[in-house]
Structure 1
Amino acid sequence: MRSALVEREGFAALVLRLRAEGITNLDLLTAVEQTPRSIFVPPEFAQSAYSTRSIPIECGQFMEGADLSVRLLSHLQVKPGHRVLEIGTGSGFLTAVIGRLAERVISIERYKTLLAAAQRRLEQLSIRNVILRQVDGMNGLPGEGTFDRIVSTAAYPAMPRFYAEQLVSGGMLLVPLMVDEQRCIMVRLTKTGSRFEREDLFEVPFLPLQPKIAQHL
């Protein structure tokens, strides 16, 4: 009972902060509400699940703060019928929310430990339109056709080239780019025909993408 109350209070506080930022999309907020963040964080951080802080998870990775998670999804503009590629499954929270909004999601991650935990959470929430794979994300996911949306939560040293072939016309890429050794910014590319419109959005605290899959974690 206590945990359910904490969940509701945390979500309510999050919605108030998001509304102050102008994020009011009802479909998005409903998907977030239906995806309790407390099951995606280590038990000792349950009280911070809806806070703005980053939360450490397994394999030396972290889960972005609640506000940043929803802000990213707001900029990604996922719609019913979309096919989405996520690079960096992490805790699986973004994966699960996207799964509630899109028709199909493929999420890739280099750490099998994180994939196994995310799979258990997706099953707990009965989200069945998501496929998880242990893949090196440096080149996106070649051989799987094109996607309406691609989002990465790991930073690239320069704009990755795979998006040109893996995005549909009208598709959108949301990716963090390293500005220097300490800073990265979230960039959105929108594809129109063979042209791309670039928008630099805001600084993000994401870690640089690591090549190859992890052999032992």
Structure 2
Amino acid sequence: MVRDQIQGRGIHDPAVLAAMLKIPRHEFVDEALHAQAYADNPVPIGHGQTISQPYIVALMSQTLEVQPGMRVLEIGTGSGYQAAVLAEMGAKVYTVERIKELHLAARKRMTRLRYLNALCKLDDGTLGWPGQAPFDRIIVTAGGPSVPEPLVDQLGDPGMLLIPVGPSRRAQELIMVRKEDGKIVQENKGAVVFVDLVGRHGY
């Protein structure tokens, strides 16, 4: 998976590659789907949600330029796989999920796999995690109509926020929001397809 799907498509960050080589991706999907876990596509995890394809996880992780010790907010815990990758890279991860069943399963999984530097919360992710702000990095693993203002407010300075944004569902552009010296700059990183970002500042 790592060699063919990730390195072969330009992912070069050694921390990302090492994390994805180490983490057992099949542990993040139902047993019946273990054979699909390493395929180059998303895999359903229930409740209309998916675990993103390996390349997208690697791309977003590399684009964020995460360094050990950084505080990273993730919106959309899902299976917990993206949070595990960030935790394996040495980040302190704060991850928020709105669906109770997914939240509970991910929290149990993270504990079992010993990712104790990843904290899980059940809440509306579009509101962020105000009590733990500011964050060095914020990653949103669902697509919304715009960049939620609470997330921008909770971004540290300097800081980077990565989020899929688009006027129509399931078709977005990956937007990088940078905050530096009080200024906000946005950069389009290309077309992506994600499940809907649901919440007060989403769909």
Taking structure 2 as the reference length, the TM-score comes to: 0.92
Note if contact 2:143-2:193 (Cα within 8 Å) is conserved in structure 1: no
Match of 1:18 in 2: 6
Identity %: 32
1:60 equivalent in alignment to 2:45: no
The alpha-carbon deviation at position 23 of structure 1 amounts to: 1.1
Amino acid at match of 2:52: E
The aligned residue for residue 144 of structure 1 is: 132
1:92: how far off?
Answer: 0.4
For 2:8 and 2:152, the matched residues in 1 are separated by 35
Measure how far apart 1:16 and its partner are: 2.8
Amino acid at match of 2:98: R
**1:53–1:17 distance in 2 versus 1, CA, 3 Å:** closer
Structure 1 residue identity aligned to 2:46: E
Q: CA deviation at 1:166?
A: 0.9
> Comparing 176-185 with 103-112, which one deviates more in the overlay?
176-185
Take 2:111 and 2:152, find their aligned partners in 1: how far apart are those partners? Answer: 33
Asked if 1:122 is matched to 2:110, the reply is yes
- SS for the counterpart of 1:200 is strand
Distance in 2, Cα, partners of 1:77 & 1:145: 19
Query: 1:180: which partner in 2?
Result: 168
Q: Does the CA-based 8 Å contact 1:52-1:68 persist in structure 2?
A: no
Note if 1:84 corresponds to 2:72. Answer: yes
Residues 1:123 and 1:17: Cα distance change in structure 2 (over 3 Å): same
Q: For the structure 1 residues 117 and 16, does the alpha-carbon distance in structure 2 shift closer, same or farther, using more than 3 Å as the test?
A: same
CA distance in 2, matches of 1:117, 1:163: 25
Contact 1:51 1:65 in 2 (8 A): yes
Find the counterpart in structure 1 of residue 199 from structure 2. Answer: 211
Q: Is the 8 A contact 1:157 1:208 kept in 2?
A: no
**Structure 1 residue identity aligned to 2:21:** E
Which consecutive unaligned segments of at least 5 residues does structure 2 have? none
Query: 1 or 2, which has the higher strand percentage?
Result: 2
In structure 2, the CA distance between the partners of 1:65 and 1:199, relative to structure 1 (3 Å rule), is same
Q: What one-letter code is carried by the residue in structure 1 that aligns with 2:72?
A: V
Pairs aligned (count): 200
1:95 paired with 2:97, answer: no
Q: Aligned partners of 2:95 and 2:126: how far apart in 1?
A: 13
**Cα deviation, residue 155, structure 1:** 1.4
Instruction: Determine if contact 2:72/2:92 at 8 Å carries over to the other structure.
Output: yes
C-alpha displacement at 1:182, in angstroms? 4.5
Q: What letter is aligned with 2:94?
A: I
The alignment status of 1:135 with 2:120, answered yes or no, reads no
1:148: how far off? 0.3
Calculate the aligned-residue CA RMSD, in Å: 1.6
Pairing of 1:186-201 with structure 2 (within 5 A)? 186-201=174-189
- Structure 1, unmatched stretches of 5+, are 1-12, 213-217
> In the alignment, residue 155 of structure 1 is paired with which amino acid?
G
User: 1:181, 1:37 → 2: CA distance?
Assistant: 27
Name 1:70's counterpart in structure 2.
Answer: 58
1:21 CA displacement: 2.2
Alpha-carbon distance between aligned partners in 1 of 2:152 and 2:55, rounded to the nearest angstrom: 29
Task: Answer whether contact 1:85 1:150 (CA < 8 A) is retained.
Answer: yes
Structure with higher Rg: it is 1
Deviation at 1:72, TM superposition (A): 1.1
CA distance in 1, matches of 2:118, 2:94: 6
Distance 2:91 2:61 in 1: 15
